[in-house]
Structure formats: C-alpha cells, structure tokens
C-alpha cells in the first residue's frame, strides 16, 4: 500500500534525472518507477504480487506524495519550502485541467483519467504536508487523529480507487490500515523525529505518564517511557484489528498487497513494543526472516494459486 512514509525511509539512492518537458507518457511513468525504486522502504511500494497493469499508477501516486514529502524535509529545499510546496499544489490543479508538465503530473494525469480518481484525497495529502511546515506537536490524541486523517487515510482510499473498489465499508477498513501504518512509523522513529524537532506522541499522553518533551530529548530509557510506548502501541494495534476484515473483502490480487502491509505493519509494531523502554538505540526494523514470514502469511491467507500469477 502506498502510505505516508516520512519515518520509514533511509537516504535515497542517486535520484533519476527527470525526462524533459514534453516527454512521452511511457518515459514519465518510467521516471516515477525509477524515483520510487531510488527510495528504500520497509516493503516494496508495488510488490510483485500487484498486477502489472496497476504498478505504474501506484508508482505515479507514490512519486507525487514522496516529492511533496521531500520538499518538507530535505535540506535542498530549506528556505523555500512553502513556495515550492505551493507550486507543487498548483501542479496538481493543472494536472486535473489537462495542463500537466512535470513528468510525475503527466503520469498522474493519465492515472487520474484511467481510474477516475477524485482530487480530494490528493489535496488532503498536500494539506498534511503544509501542516508539517508549522505543526510539530499535537496536544491530544484527537489532534493527532485529525492529522492522520489527511496524512494517511487518503492513501488507503486511493489504492482502492485504482482497483475500482468504491465500497464505503471497504474504504473505512483501508483508512484504518493506513492510520495503523502511519502510527507505527511514528513510534518506530520517535528518535529520528526528535532530530527534526517533531513529537508525534500527544502532549496529553506525555503528561499522563509523567513525561514531557525534555524527557524525550534527554534520550534516556525509562520505565515511564516504556509504559507510554506500550500504551501507544495498544492504540495502534486496535487500528490494525479494525482493518483486519479488509484482507478477506477485496479481490485476491489486492488482498495479497493488503495482507503484506497488515502483517508487515503488525510485525513492526511488535518490534517497536519489544524495545519500548529504549527507542533511542538501534532503530527497530524488519529482518529478512521477518519479511519472509510476512510474505508467507500473506500468501497463505489468499491461496497458493496466486504463485501462478507472479
């Protein structure tokens, strides 16, 4: 599943050179794919179990969101983030009016046309990036949930749109899965976010467990921190459980992709909770063995016949 991945990436490989303005559609899609592959994620953005005809649209959606993400965080955009993000938003609007120029928007315009994607989820994602420029603390869980509502939940809806699934019940489950993945990344990268002066743990939760920002920035393990992280993991696990039915409701092709992220995210959450008392050491990550287990679970859930489609 495409998802909000700010906290889930390592520094990218050398980014591809974008094709010139006016390049053909295939070249624009190839650029989106190359851009995606230059960024490492816990799981492939479009796995081999995703039908070939749907991988290119997923690459286009990912490239759109990830470039906006980089505008907010990467050093080369320092001093002009607001302007550059605003220009990226204008590019989205032109994309929907048949005026795309940037290769990502050329590919995205084709994806929008083919799958009848509404603009609202994409606008919501951009509004979340705009929030990132000014909001670095969340007073309450409700405030964090509202942020996740525009930063992560639209991603689940977009993926279902690409598969032609517009069932409102399915979309609710997909939104829960997107939320769970985003929350998992927040707890996984608590230490990394401190380097950006970002604290996703709600301030009310810090106070409840006798902590504050200063305690986090001290980067010292404690029983209070362990209790806090276990509490946030329990809330996040509830999101995974609310999303669980989606794996059995969608088509087999999409079901494998959903199952990969459900099992992968759940396993990552287990690893975060296992080191809840000290998230300032080595970053929790999935090993090759973990990933093999996740793939096996995803395939077992949907049936061995899928191997013939790879």
pLDDT tens digits, 43-58: 567 788 888 889 999 9
**How many Cβ atoms sit within 10 Å of the Cβ of residue 82?**
14
Q: Does the structure show a pLDDT above 80 at 2?
A: no
Q: Does the structure show a pLDDT above 60 at 309?
A: no
* Tens digits of residue pLDDT in 69-91: 999 999 999 999 999 999 999 99
Q: How much is the pLDDT for 8? A: 39
Burial class for 304, CB neighbours closer than 10 Å (0-12, 13-18, 19+): exposed
Q: Which domains does the chain have, with CATH numbers?
A: 6-14+22-309 (1.10.600.10)
Q: CA 215, CA 71: separation in Å to the nearest integer?
A: 30
Q: CA 27, CA 53: separation in Å to the nearest integer?
A: 16
Nearest to 291 by CA among 263, 310, 270: 263
The encoded tokens of residue 260 equal: 């990969």
**143 touches 202 (CB < 8 A):** yes
**117 touches 111 (CB < 8 A):** yes
Q: Which of the four pLDDT bands, split at 50, 70 and 90, describes residue 310? A: very low
Terminal alpha carbon distance of the chain: 18
* Tens digits of residue pLDDT in 135-167: 999 999 999 999 999 999 999 999 999 999 999
**158 touches 126 (CB < 8 A):** no
Q: How much is the pLDDT for 52? A: 82
Q: How much is the pLDDT for 252? A: 83
Q: CA 267, CA 46: separation in Å to the nearest integer?
A: 19
HSE at residue 51, side-chain half, CA atoms within 13 A, is 10
Nearest to 239 by CA among 280, 200, 202, 185: 185
Q: How much is the pLDDT for 37? A: 86
Q: Does the structure show a pLDDT above 60 at 13?
A: no
Q: How much is the pLDDT for 48? A: 80
Averaged pLDDT, 183-190: 96
Q: Is the dihedral of CA 132, 117, 252, 308 positive or negative?
A: negative
Q: Is the dihedral of CA 177, 48, 297, 186 positive or negative?
A: negative
Quote the Cα angle for 271-183-41, to 5°. 70
Q: How much is the pLDDT for 302? A: 59
Contacts of 194 (CB under 8 A, 6+ apart): 216, 217, 219
Q: CA 198, CA 213: separation in Å to the nearest integer?
A: 10
**185 touches 8 (CB < 8 A):** yes
Q: How much is the pLDDT for 43? A: 58
In this prediction the pTM is 0.90
* Tens digits of residue pLDDT in 226-244: 999 999 999 999 999 999 9
Tell me what the pLDDT averaged over the chain comes to.
Answer: 90
Distance of CA 308 to the CA centre of its chain: 29
């Amino acid at each position: 599943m495409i998802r909000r991945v700010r906290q889930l990436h390592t520094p990218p490989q050398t980014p591809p050179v974008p094709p010139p303005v006016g390049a053909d559609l295939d070249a624009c899609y190839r650029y989106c794919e190359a851009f995606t592959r230059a960024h490492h994620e816990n799981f492939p953005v479009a796995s081999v179990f995703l039908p070939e005809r749907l991988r290119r649209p997923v690459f286009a959606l990912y490239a759109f969101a990830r470039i906006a993400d980089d505008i907010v965080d990467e050093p080369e955009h320092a001093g002009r983030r607001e302007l550059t993000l605003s220009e990226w938003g204008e590019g989205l609007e032109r994309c929907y009016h048949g005026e795309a120029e940037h290769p990502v928007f050329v590919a995205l315009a084709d994806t929008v046309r083919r799958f009848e994607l509404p603009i609202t989820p994409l606008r919501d994602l951009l509004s979340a990036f705009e929030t990132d420029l000014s909001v670095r603390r969340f007073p309450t869980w409700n405030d964090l949930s509202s942020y996740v509502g525009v930063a992560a939940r639209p991603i689940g809806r977009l993926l279902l749109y690409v598969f032609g699934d517009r069932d409102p019940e399915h979309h609710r489950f997909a939104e829960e899965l997107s939320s769970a993945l985003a929350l998992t990344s927040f707890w996984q990268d608590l230490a990394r976010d401190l380097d950006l002066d970002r604290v996703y743990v709600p301030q009310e939760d810090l106070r409840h467990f006798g902590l504050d920002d200063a305690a986090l920035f001290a980067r010292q393990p404690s029983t209070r921190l362990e209790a806090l992280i276990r509490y946030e993991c329990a809330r996040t696990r509830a999101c995974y459980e609310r999303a669980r039915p989606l794996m059995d409701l969608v088509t087999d092709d999409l079901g494998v992709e959903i199952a990969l992220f459900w099992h992968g995210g759940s396993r990552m959450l287990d690893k975060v909770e296992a080191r809840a008392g000290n998230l300032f050491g080595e970053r929790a990550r999935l090993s090759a063995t973990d990933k093999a287990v996740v793939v096996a679970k995803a395939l077992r859930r949907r049936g061995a016949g899928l191997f013939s489609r790879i």
